[in-house]
Structure formats: structure tokens, C-alpha cells
């Protein structure tokens, strides 16, 4: 494996609001801690305009205020460009939304503000925008992981005004993680994937564990290697 030439990956991070700096730092941690630096040459691109999306291999949509983010995406055509990029048959690319990113990537929403919610769609789930309550209700909790191919021992989620997946509406959607709550009689779905898209209700970039970013990078690497 050491004789293989490193694969160049261009990873975009939507840099409108939210923890995009923290995502960039977590990508660098994942590159080092999971020995991807032997396999990957990584370029991180801060995405603010439609032209920034060209030639990306992966894209992270960070947390933030989903209504504001959706309006901005629509105002400068980024929403159309990102949808085209995600669904392009010519380019195998991976998109990952965290917290507000899950809201933006969900096909159906509960608890929308008046006038609805601008979104990208693509993951066939119904998501509750403020399932876990307001900022004061933020918390951390252990995650129940579903067959993630990276070491996630002791992994926990940071939930800040977080959404949650209420229903899975397609057999193509896989559940990646759930969380147990004393107020719920069944585990709450907080991470999903469908085809080349994945989304988490929590903030992996706010923990010391870069495992979720390593999982994302592995998916991006696999997609590019197979194209």
C-alpha cells in the first residue's frame, strides 16, 4: 500500500455560518490519526459561491441556523449548484450535513417556520427541526452506532438545538446512529445515509474524536477510487 500514489481529494466546507473552522480542524485530525496521510493529498475549500463547488470530491454542510442558511443558498444559486453536484452522474461525490445540514438535506420536515423552509433535500426522511428543544436544552450523550467501519468506541454526540429523524421513508436510507433518551420509549435516530449522502443531528466537530470525519473521508476516497 505504501507504493501507491496518494489520491488527491478536494473537500469543501460550506462557510456561511456555524462551525466550519472546527470541521476543517477535524478533517486534518482524521487525516493524521487514521493514517490517511499515506493515501490522501487533501485540499480543503471554503464554499461560499457556486463556483467553489466545481471539482469537489466531498462537501460538508455544518450546523447553524437552517432557515438563514437555506435563504442564503437560494439567494445566490448555491442550492441549485449543490443539488446538481450531489446528483451528477459524471462525478461520484459525498455530501455530509451536520445538525442544520441534516435539516437542509431532508426531503420532509416537521416544525417548519411560517412560510416553509428552503432546503436541498435528497435524503428520504422526515426530520423534526427542533426535536431536542432550545439552546438551553443542549446536551451530550453516548451514541448507539450501527456498523460504522471505523473505531467509534466510547463515541458520543454533542446536541445543540438539534433536529432528529422521525421517520425513514425509503429502504435506501440506512440508520448510522441512534441515541437513548429517558423521555422516549425507543431510540431516537440521529444519523443516516442514503447513496452518496450522509447526515448527523449532532456536532462531531465539537469533540476530540475525529472518527466521523474519518468515516466521511473513507467514503469520499472509496467513491473517487471507484470512479
Write the pLDDT tens digit of every residue in 10-60: 999 998 877 789 999 999 999 988 778 788 999 999 999 999 998 999 999
Nearest to 212 by CA among 34, 19, 57: 34
Count up the domains in the chain and report the number: 1
Residue 2 has pLDDT above 80, yes or no: no
Residue 108 lies in a domain: yes
224 in Cβ contact with 92 (< 8 Å): yes
Catalytic option among 24, 34, 155, 205: 205
Residue 92 lies in a domain: yes
> Is 155 assigned a catalytic role?
no
Residue 1 lies in a domain: no
Q: Is 48 annotated as a binding residue?
A: no
The CA distance from 1 to 137, in Å, is 47
> Is 22 assigned a catalytic role?
no
Residue 71 lies in a domain: yes
Q: Is 161 annotated as a binding residue?
A: yes
Q: What angle do CA 222, 31, 155 make, to 5 degrees?
A: 90
Q: What is the CA radius of gyration of the chain?
A: 17
Q: What is the pLDDT of residues 48-60, one digit of tens each?
A: 999 999 899 999 9
% of the chain exceeding 90 in pLDDT: 55
How many beta carbons lie within 10 A of that of residue 80, not counting itself?
Answer: 13
Q: Residue 120 has which C-alpha cell?
A: 436541498
Q: Is 129 annotated as a binding residue?
A: yes
What pLDDT is attached to residue 53?
94
Residue 214 lies in a domain: yes
Cα dist from 83 to 9, 64, 122, 207, whole Å: 20, 19, 8, 29
- Is the alpha carbon torsion for 24, 25, 26, 31 positive or negative? positive
Residue 180 lies in a domain: yes
Q: Is 189 annotated as a binding residue?
A: no
State the pLDDT confidence band at 190, using cuts at 50, 70 and 90: very high
Residue 81 lies in a domain: yes
Residue 47 lies in a domain: yes
Q: What is the pLDDT of residues 81-116, one digit of tens each?
A: 999 998 887 777 899 999 999 999 999 998 766 556
> Is 99 assigned a catalytic role?
yes
Q: Is 11 annotated as a binding residue?
A: no
Question: Could you list the residue range(s) of the whole structural domain that residue 11 is in?
Answer: 7-225
Q: What is the CATH number of the domain that holds 42?
A: 3.40.50.880
| Cell 452518496, residue located | 196
Catalytic option among 99, 155, 208, 213: 99
Q: What secondary structure, in 3-state letters, does the chain show?
A: CCCCCCEEEEEEEECCCCCHHHHHHHHHHHHHHCCHHHCEEEEEEEECCHHHHCCCCEEEECCCCHHHHHHHHHHCCHHHHHHHHHCCCCCCCEEEEECHHHHHHEEEEECCCCCCCCCCCCEEEEEECCCCCCHHHCEEEECEECCCCCCCCCCEEEECCCCEEEEECCCCEEEEEEECCCCCCCCEEEEEEECCEEEECCCHHHCCCCHHHHHHHHHHHHHHHHC
Catalytic option among 23, 34, 203, 213: 203
Amino acid at each position: 500500500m505504501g507504493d501507491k500514489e496518494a489520491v488527491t481529494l478536494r473537500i469543501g466546507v460550506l462557510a456561511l455560518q456555524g462551525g466550519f473552522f472546527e470541521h476543517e480542524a477535524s478533517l486534518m485530525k482524521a487525516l493524521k490519526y487514521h493514517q490517511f496521510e499515506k493515501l490522501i493529498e487533501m485540499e480543503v475549500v471554503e464554499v461560499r459561491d457556486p463556483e467553489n463547488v466545481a471539482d469537489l470530491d466531498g462537501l460538508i454542510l455544518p450546523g447553524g441556523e437552517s432557515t438563514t442558511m437555506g435563504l442564503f443558498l437560494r439567494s445566490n444559486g448555491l442550492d441549485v449548484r449543490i443539488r446538481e453536484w450531489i446528483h451528477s452522474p459524471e462525478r461520484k461525490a459525498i455530501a455530509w450535513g451536520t445538525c442544520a445540514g441534516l435539516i437542509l438535506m431532508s426531503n420532509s420536515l416537521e416544525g417548519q417556520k411560517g412560510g416553509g423552509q428552503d432546503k436541498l433535500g435528497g435524503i428520504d426522511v422526515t426530520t423534526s427541526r427542533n426535536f431536542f428543544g432550545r439552546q438551553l436544552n443542549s446536551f451530550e450523550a453516548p451514541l448507539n452506532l450501527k456498523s460504522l467501519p471505523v473505531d467509534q468506541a466510547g463515541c458520543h454526540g454533542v446536541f445543540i438545538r438539534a433536529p432528529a429523524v422521525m421517520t425513514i421513508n425509503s429502504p435506501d436510507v440506512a440508520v448510522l446512529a441512534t441515541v437513548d433518551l429517558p423521555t422516549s420509549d425507543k431510540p431516537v435516530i440521529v444519523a443516516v445515509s442514503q447513496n452518496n449522502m450522509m447526515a448527523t443531528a449532532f456536532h462531531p466537530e465539537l469533540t476530540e474524536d475525529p472518527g466521523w470525519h474519518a468515516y466521511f473521508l473513507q467514503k469520499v476516497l472509496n467513491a473517487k477510487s471507484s470512479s
